[in-house]
A and B are shown apart, each in its own frame.
Chain A
Amino acid sequence: MNVIYLLVLIWLALLICSGVLLFSRGFLLARVSKTETSTCRRLSTNHNDEYMLTPEVVNEIFKDVNASSNLCLPQKSKVIILVVDALKYEFGLYKSNITEPLPYENKLSVLQELLERSPDQSRLMRFKADPPTTTLQRLKGLTTGSLPTFIDIGSNFASPEINEDNVIDQIVKSDLPLVFLGDSTWTDLYPRRFKRAYSYPSFDIFDLDSVDNQIMKHLPKELASDDWQVLIAHFLGVDHCGHKHGPLHEEMARKLTEINEIVSSVVNAMDNETTLLVMGDHGMTASGDHGGDTDDETNALLFAYSKQSKFFGSDSGSDNETLQQIDLVPTLAAILGVPIPYSNLGLINFNIVPDVPVPHLSKFQILLLHAWQNAQQIYRYFFKYAMENRRTFDVQEMDKLETEFILLTHRVQTIYNGVAYKSFVRDLNASLRDVLSTCREIWVKFEPTQMSQGLLFCFLPIFFAFLLINNSRPADYSNMFKPKGIFYTYLLNLAAGVFGYRYYKNFSFKSEEHGVIFFTAITSTVILAFYTLQHWTSIASNWANVKRFGHMPTRLLLFSIMAVFFSNSFVIQEAKILSYLLVAVFLLFSYELLQQSVRFDFRNKFRASQFLRSTALRLILASILAICFIRFAYTLFRCREEQGNCTDFATSNTSGFSIKKPGTGKTYILAVVIIVIYTTLTRLYLRSCGNLTGSSPNVLLARYGPTVATICAGGHVLLANSSIKNIQRTHIDAMALVIYGLLLLQIIVLSLAPLMTFVLPKRNPNIVTVNRNDSIVPEIFKKMKRMYEGDDAERHTEIPIVYGLATVYSSITITFGVFLAMTMIVLLEPRAAIGLVVCVAISAILLSVQGILRYRTATSFESCVQPTFMAVVGWFLLAHFCFFATSHQTTLSQIDWRAAFVGRTSGIGQSNIISGALVILNTFCGPIFFFCMYALLSTETFSLFALFPNLIRSFSNSCRSGSKTDAAVAMSDIANEAVGFDMTRGELTLYEYEDVFLGAGFKLATQFFMLQGLKIFCAMLACTIHCRHLMVWKIFAPRFIYEALATFVSLPALIVGYVLLLRINRAVDDLIKRINKAKTQ
Chain B
Amino acid sequence: MVSRFDQQKTKHQLFHVSLSLATILICMTYMQYRRNWAYLGNFWDSLVVPIVFIGELLKVVLARFYGRIEDGVLTIKQRQKKAAYFTARELAGGFTLQFLCTLLYAFICIILGAPVLGNYEETFVLSLLMTLLTVSPTVFLLGGGGALQVCFCEKPDFVTKCEDTALNLFKYNALGGILGAWAGSVVAPLDWGRDWQVYPIPNIIGALLGSAMGNIYACTHVLYATARVYMTKKRA
Q: Give A616-644 as 1s and 0s: 1 = Cβ < 8 Å from B's Cβ atoms.
A: 00000000000110110010000000000
Q: Known A569-B189, A587-B108; judge A580-B113 contact (CB<8 A).
A: yes
A594 is an interface residue with CB less than 8 A from chain B = yes
A598 is an interface residue with CB less than 8 A from chain B = yes
Determine whether the beta carbon of A602 is less than 8 Å from that of B153. Answer: yes
Nearest A residue to B148 via CB reads A606
Determine whether the beta carbon of A602 is less than 8 Å from that of B189. Answer: no
In this complex, how many residues of chain B approach chain A with their Cβ under 8 Å: the count is 23
Determine whether the beta carbon of B110 is less than 8 Å from that of A570. Answer: no
- Specify which of A570, A579, A594, A606 is in contact with B149 (CB 8 Å cutoff): A606
Closest beta carbon of chain B to A603's beta carbon, Å: 6
Residues from chain B with a CB closer than 8 A to the CB of A603 are 153-155
Is the contact region of chain B dominated by helix, strand, or loop, or is it mixed?
loop
Give the size range of A's interface with the partner: 20 to 34
B111 is an interface residue with CB less than 8 A from chain A = yes
Determine whether the beta carbon of B153 is less than 8 Å from that of A631. Answer: no
- Specify which of A576, A583, A602 is in contact with B111 (CB 8 Å cutoff): A583
A68 is an interface residue with CB less than 8 A from chain B = no
Determine whether the beta carbon of A602 is less than 8 Å from that of B191. Answer: no
Distance between Cα atoms of A806 and B96 in the complex (Å): 46
Residues from chain B with a CB closer than 8 A to the CB of A577 are 189
Determine whether the beta carbon of B154 is less than 8 Å from that of A594. Answer: no
A174 is an interface residue with CB less than 8 A from chain B = no
- Specify which of A572, A584, A599 is in contact with B154 (CB 8 Å cutoff): A599
Distance between Cα atoms of A603 and B151 in the complex (Å): 12
Residues from chain B with a CB closer than 8 A to the CB of A570 are 189-190
Residues from chain A with a CB closer than 8 A to the CB of B111 are 583, 627-628, 630-631
B157 is an interface residue with CB less than 8 A from chain A = yes
Q: Which of B175-212 contact A (CB under 8 A)?
A: 182, 185-186, 188-191, 193
Closest beta carbon of chain A to B148's beta carbon, Å: 6
B156 is an interface residue with CB less than 8 A from chain A = yes
B112 is an interface residue with CB less than 8 A from chain A = yes
Residues from chain A with a CB closer than 8 A to the CB of B155 are 603-604
Q: Which of B104-162 contact A (CB under 8 A)?
A: 108, 110-113, 116, 148-149, 151-157
A605 is an interface residue with CB less than 8 A from chain B = yes
Q: Known A598-B152, A606-B148; judge A579-B113 contact (CB<8 A).
A: yes
Determine whether the beta carbon of A606 is less than 8 Å from that of B189. Answer: no
Closest beta carbon of chain A to B151's beta carbon, Å: 8
Q: Which of B12-52 contact A (CB under 8 A)?
A: none
Residues from chain A with a CB closer than 8 A to the CB of B154 are 598-599, 602-604
A414 is an interface residue with CB less than 8 A from chain B = no
Q: Known A576-B189, A584-B182; judge A604-B112 contact (CB<8 A).
A: no
Residues from chain A with a CB closer than 8 A to the CB of B186 are 560
Closest beta carbon of chain B to A486's beta carbon, Å: 44
- Specify which of B152, B182, B190 is in contact with A602 (CB 8 Å cutoff): B152
Closest beta carbon of chain B to A861's beta carbon, Å: 28
Q: Give A570-597 as 1s and 0s: 1 = Cβ < 8 Å from B's Cβ atoms.
A: 1011001101100110010000001001
A272 is an interface residue with CB less than 8 A from chain B = no
Q: Known A604-B153, A606-B153; judge A576-B113 contact (CB<8 A).
A: yes
A567 is an interface residue with CB less than 8 A from chain B = yes
Nearest B residue to A628 via CB reads B111
Determine whether the beta carbon of A594 is less than 8 Å from that of B189. Answer: no
Distance between Cα atoms of A583 and B182 in the complex (Å): 11
Closest beta carbon of chain A to B69's beta carbon, Å: 26
A611 is an interface residue with CB less than 8 A from chain B = yes
A206 is an interface residue with CB less than 8 A from chain B = yes
Determine whether the beta carbon of B153 is less than 8 Å from that of A568. Answer: no
Residues from chain B with a CB closer than 8 A to the CB of A560 are 186
Determine whether the beta carbon of B112 is less than 8 Å from that of A583. Answer: yes
Closest beta carbon of chain A to B44's beta carbon, Å: 29
Nearest A residue to B185 via CB reads A580
- Specify which of A573, A579, A604, A628 is in contact with B156 (CB 8 Å cutoff): A604
Distance between Cα atoms of A378 and B155 in the complex (Å): 85
Q: Which of B72-88 contact A (CB under 8 A)?
A: none
Nearest A residue to B187 via CB reads A569
Residues from chain B with a CB closer than 8 A to the CB of A579 are 113
Most chain A CB inside 10 Å of its own CB: which residue of B108, B186, B191: B191
Determine whether the beta carbon of A569 is less than 8 Å from that of B190. Answer: yes
- Specify which of A584, A605, A627 is in contact with B153 (CB 8 Å cutoff): A605
Distance between Cα atoms of A584 and B182 in the complex (Å): 9
Distance between Cα atoms of A432 and B190 in the complex (Å): 47
Distance between Cα atoms of A628 and B116 in the complex (Å): 12
Determine whether the beta carbon of A572 is less than 8 Å from that of B189. Answer: yes
Nearest B residue to A603 via CB reads B154
- Specify which of B108, B113, B193 is in contact with A206 (CB 8 Å cutoff): B193
Q: Known A587-B108, A628-B111, A630-B111; judge A568-B152 contact (CB<8 A).
A: no
Distance between Cα atoms of A573 and B151 in the complex (Å): 36
Residues from chain A with a CB closer than 8 A to the CB of B149 are 605-606
Closest beta carbon of chain B to A631's beta carbon, Å: 5
Distance between Cα atoms of A627 and B188 in the complex (Å): 21
Residues from chain B with a CB closer than 8 A to the CB of A206 are 193
Nearest B residue to A205 via CB reads B191
Q: Which of A743-767 contact B (CB under 8 A)?
A: none
Residues from chain A with a CB closer than 8 A to the CB of B193 are 206
Most chain A CB inside 10 Å of its own CB: which residue of B108, B149, B153, B193: B153
Residues from chain B with a CB closer than 8 A to the CB of A604 are 153-157
Determine whether the beta carbon of A568 is less than 8 Å from that of B191. Answer: yes
Closest beta carbon of chain A to B75's beta carbon, Å: 14
- Specify which of B116, B153, B157 is in contact with A598 (CB 8 Å cutoff): B153
Q: Give A158-194 as 1s and 0s: 1 = Cβ < 8 Å from B's Cβ atoms.
A: 0000000000000000000000000000000000000
Nearest A residue to B149 via CB reads A606
Closest beta carbon of chain B to A883's beta carbon, Å: 18
Distance between Cα atoms of A577 and B183 in the complex (Å): 11
Distance between Cα atoms of A783 and B95 in the complex (Å): 55
Residues from chain A with a CB closer than 8 A to the CB of B108 are 587
Closest beta carbon of chain A to B130's beta carbon, Å: 13
Distance between Cα atoms of A572 and B189 in the complex (Å): 8
Residues from chain A with a CB closer than 8 A to the CB of B189 are 569-570, 572-573, 576-577
Distance between Cα atoms of A1010 and B188 in the complex (Å): 29
Q: Known A569-B191, A580-B113, A631-B111; judge A594-B152 contact (CB<8 A).
A: yes
Residues from chain B with a CB closer than 8 A to the CB of A580 are 112-113, 185
Most chain A CB inside 10 Å of its own CB: which residue of B108, B152, B156, B186: B152
Distance between Cα atoms of A584 and B186 in the complex (Å): 14
Q: Which of A491-535 contact B (CB under 8 A)?
A: none
Distance between Cα atoms of A580 and B112 in the complex (Å): 6
Closest beta carbon of chain A to B157's beta carbon, Å: 6
Distance between Cα atoms of A630 and B182 in the complex (Å): 17
Closest beta carbon of chain B to A613's beta carbon, Å: 14
Nearest B residue to A584 via CB reads B182
Distance between Cα atoms of A580 and B182 in the complex (Å): 9
Residues from chain B with a CB closer than 8 A to the CB of A573 are 188-189
Closest beta carbon of chain A to B139's beta carbon, Å: 14
Closest 10 CB pairs of A and B: A573-B189, A606-B152, A569-B190, A569-B191, A569-B189, A631-B111, A602-B153, A627-B111, A606-B149, A606-B153
Known contacts A569-B190, A583-B112; 19 further A-B pairs (Cβ under 8 A): A567-B190, A570-B190, A572-B191, A573-B188, A573-B189, A576-B189, A577-B189, A580-B112, A598-B153, A602-B153, A603-B153, A603-B155, A604-B155, A605-B153, A605-B156, A606-B148, A628-B111, A630-B111, A634-B113
- Using a CB–CB cutoff of 8 Å, the interface residues on chain A facing chain B are 206, 560, 567-570, 572-573, 576-577, 579-580, 583-584, 587, 594, 597-599, 602-606, 611, 627-628, 630-631, 634
- Using a CB–CB cutoff of 8 Å, the interface residues on chain B facing chain A are 108, 110-113, 116, 148-149, 151-157, 182, 185-186, 188-191, 193
Pairs A–B under 8 Å by Cβ, sample size 24: A560-B186, A568-B191, A569-B189, A569-B191, A570-B189, A572-B189, A573-B188, A576-B189, A580-B112, A583-B111, A587-B108, A597-B152, A598-B151, A598-B154, A602-B153, A603-B154, A603-B155, A604-B155, A604-B157, A606-B149, A606-B151, A627-B111, A628-B111, A631-B116
